[in-house]
Amino acid sequence: MLKRRFGRTEMNLTVLTFGAMRIPPEKDETPEANFERALATLRRGLDVGINHIETARGYGLSEELIGKALQQGVIKRDEFYLTTKIGPRETAAEFDEALRDSMGRMGVDYVDNLDIHGINTPELITMSTSPGGCFDAVKTAIADGRVGHIGFSTHGPVEVIVDAIETNLFESVNLHYYYMNQRNLRAVQAATEKDMGVFIISPTDKGGQLFNPSAKLKELCSPYTPIEFNQRWLLSQPEVHTLSLGAANPWEYDAHLKMANVDGPLSADEQIILNRLDEAMSNVGISFCSNCQACLPCPEDVAIPEILRLRNLVKAFDMVEFGKYRYKMLAYKEEETGERKGGIGHWLPGAQGTFCTDCGDCLPRCPLNLPIPELLRESHSLMSGEVGKRLWE
């Protein structure tokens, strides 16, 4: 498997990273079955050549499962680099306690790379980097040898990511960037200028649930699978160093292995696939949203750019299921009471299109003169599963 230098950390990581978010227990799974599945999945990851395991304090039992695998000798600590992620805390003491807790759960005395998890807002940059905060705990942990390097993960807007990069405090970034969502290109470039490691979060799932592609997307990517093409597109960019693969079962690596050994720029044949995808996107036509974000803020907190980005994917590639999967994570309006419910906060900010009041504030800000309220209504119909029914009419 190809390896790449992870920026100035100088770690030589494989282009695939095992992301441990999916090894915690599944619904109706016994602890014994979970344990067997987690161990077999971890072991197969290392056997196919992966040399980096990434987990988080917030991924349920994943740290414990890694700890048990180590304790039982199923995996050995010197076989892999280890990253864990811990969310920002108010004080250095709290952050240090969380780090010690994570390391205790894994039974390790050294973490190669520690990410501050979810720097999604300017406030969280401040909380993470202010004197007396998380960064002081990180500096102590690096000085006493518990931690090798410091990075951050983010689901935030590109402006926030670039600001966090510009602090010069981090050696790597863990972010969303895929063929289907290229909004963070500027952050990838900013990280490259700082010689930071660039880790791509879950390209197969967050990059379009490519394990369940539409017939149209399959045809456009042929003879590759959509998983393969997205992986190839990412790794054709030397700025990208490693892609997380959130396998839940040992066989889930197979779809990813072919492209983990292909390096260099896209070939002429691969460029033809890219051109086909770009053309399908251009066929969205005059209702295409460029995701420029200029329409924000919306007084009703409607997530206009994200909704219209998903609409682009539905129109261009028939990615209805992916659209529904992401759309339902936005805050929704309860039909009976009209109350705002759900949502995942700063991990995917904003609300569904049903909150639009047709106030018109966004319209003059859109450089493409899109009829935003109308497109939001259509998007809701397409992605709420209520095709043809406009709930607020």
Interacting residues toward ligand SF4 by CB under 6 A: 289-295, 298-300, 302, 304-305, 308, 356-362, 365-366, 368, 370, 372-373
In angstroms, give the least distance from the CB of 379 to ligand SF4: 11
99 vs 356 by CB, closer to ligand SF4: 356
Q: How far is the CB of 305 from ligand SF4 (least distance, A)?
A: 4
Beta carbon of residue 362, minimum distance to ligand SF4 (angstroms, whole number): 3
φ, ψ for residue 281, nearest 5 deg: -65, -40
CA angle 229, 231, 236 (to 5 degrees): 95
C-alpha dihedral (77, 263, 4, 107), degrees to nearest 10 = -20
**CA neighbor of 245 nearest in space, from 223, 230, 224, 267:** 230
C-alpha to C-alpha distance for 191 and 200, rounded to whole angstroms: 12
* Contact criterion met (CB below 8 Å) for 244 and 56: no
The distance of closest approach from Cβ of residue 269 to ligand SF4 in the complex, given in angstroms and rounded to an integer, is 32
Q: Nearer Cβ to ligand SF4, position 16 or 295?
A: 295
CA end-to-end distance (rounded Å), the chain: 54
Cβ neighbours around 32 below 10 Å, total: 8
User: Closest separation between CB of residue 288 and ligand SF4, Å?
Assistant: 8
Which residue type occupies 217? L
How does strand 111-116 pair with strand 147-153? Answer: parallel
Q: Which is nearer to ligand SF4, 212 or 293 (CB)?
A: 293
Dihedral of alpha carbons 23, 27, 31, 32, sign:
negative
Q: Which is nearer to ligand SF4, 127 or 304 (CB)?
A: 304
Shortest CB 61 distance to ligand SF4, Å? 39
Question: Is the preceding omega at residue 297 within 30 degrees of 0, hence cis?
Answer: yes
Task: Specify whether the CB–CB gap between 353 and 383 falls below 8 A.
Answer: no
Please tell me the distance from the alpha carbon of residue 8 to that of residue 368, in angstroms, as a whole number: 40
Report the C-alpha gap between 256 and 246 in whole angstroms. 11
In angstroms, the Cα distances linking 149 to 18, 73, 139 are 18, 25, 10
Please state the φ and ψ torsions of residue 209, each to the nearest 5 degrees.
Answer: 45, 55
Task: Rank residues 175 and 308 by Cβ distance to ligand SF4 and give the closer one.
Answer: 308
Q: In terms of CB distance, is 237 or 381 closer to ligand SF4?
A: 381
State how far Cα 222 lies from the chain centre. 25
When the beta carbons of 97 and 300 are compared against ligand SF4, the nearer one is 300
Provide the minimum distance between the beta carbon of 356 and ligand SF4 in the complex, in angstroms, as a whole number: 3
Residue nearer to ligand SF4 on the CB measure, 1 or 359: 359
Q: Judged by CB, which is closer to ligand SF4: 130, or 293?
A: 293
Nearest approach, Cβ of residue 353 and ligand SF4 (Å): 8
User: Minimum Å distance from CB 271 to ligand SF4?
Assistant: 27
Could you write out the three-class secondary structure of 228-259?
Answer: HHHHHHHHCCCCCCEEEECCCCHHHHHHHHHH
